[in-house]
Amino acid sequence: MKQFTSGGVACALLAVGLAGGALAQDPAELEVAREILMDLQPRSFAENREYCGYIGLLPDGGYMATEVTRGDAWSCLSRGDESRFLEVTASFHTHAAFDSGADSEVPSSTDLLGDMEEGVNGYVATPGGRLWYIDGEEGLAVLVCGLGCMGQDPDFIAGDAGPIEARYTLDDLLRREAGD
C-alpha cells in the first residue's frame, strides 16, 4: 500500500470537477485516485485489462490505496487489503484499452451502481484519458478532466464514443447503454 498526502494537483483537478457540478469528498482523496490511475493507465492499455482497488482513510487523517488488482478487459473486483483503513472512502479503476465496440469513455451503470451499493465514491480513468468522479451517495458521475488529462491509449479514436456529457445520473447511463 502507498500512502499519499494532498497536493496542488488535486486542487487544480477539484476546480475542474466543480465546474461539472459535484465536489469530490476530499481533495486528498482525489489526489490519491489521480496518482494511482495515472500510474495504471499505460499498463491497462498495454495489457487490455482493467485495474482496480480502493482508497481508504487512515488513523492519521491521510489516505492510502490498497494493492492494485488486475481484472479482465471488462471488469475488475478488488482483492486489496482494506484492514488498515478506518473506512473505505472510494473505489478506483481503469477502463482497459480502447475498443470501438465498448462505451468506455463514460462510467457504466454497473460502475455507478457498485459504488452506490457500497456507499463509497469512485474514480474511473478511460482509454481517452478522461477522469470521472462517481458520487456514490448522489448516484452521479461527473467529469473531472477531459480527453488526455490522464494519458491516452495510442489506439484511441477521438469522437468514436459520440457526444460525452459532463455529468450523468444512473438513468442517463442506462439510457445511453440502451442506445436512447
Q: What is the pLDDT along the chain (180 residues), one digit of tens a residue?
A: 444 333 434 434 443 444 444 455 689 999 999 999 999 999 999 999 999 999 999 999 999 999 999 999 999 999 999 999 999 999 999 999 999 999 999 999 999 999 999 999 999 999 999 999 999 999 999 999 999 999 999 999 999 999 999 999 999 999 999 987
**pLDDT at position 26, please?**
84
Distance from first CA to last CA of the chain, Å, rounded? Answer: 42
Residue 116: what residue type? Answer: M
**pLDDT at position 25, please?**
63
**pLDDT at position 36, please?**
97
Residues 54 and 65: beta-carbon distance below 8 Å: yes
CA 83, distance to chain mean position in Å, is 22
Q: Which three cell numbers stand for residue 169?
A: 445520473
**Domain segments of the chain as ranges:** 2-178
User: Phi, psi at residue 57, to the nearest 5°?
Assistant: -90, 130
**pLDDT at position 22, please?**
45
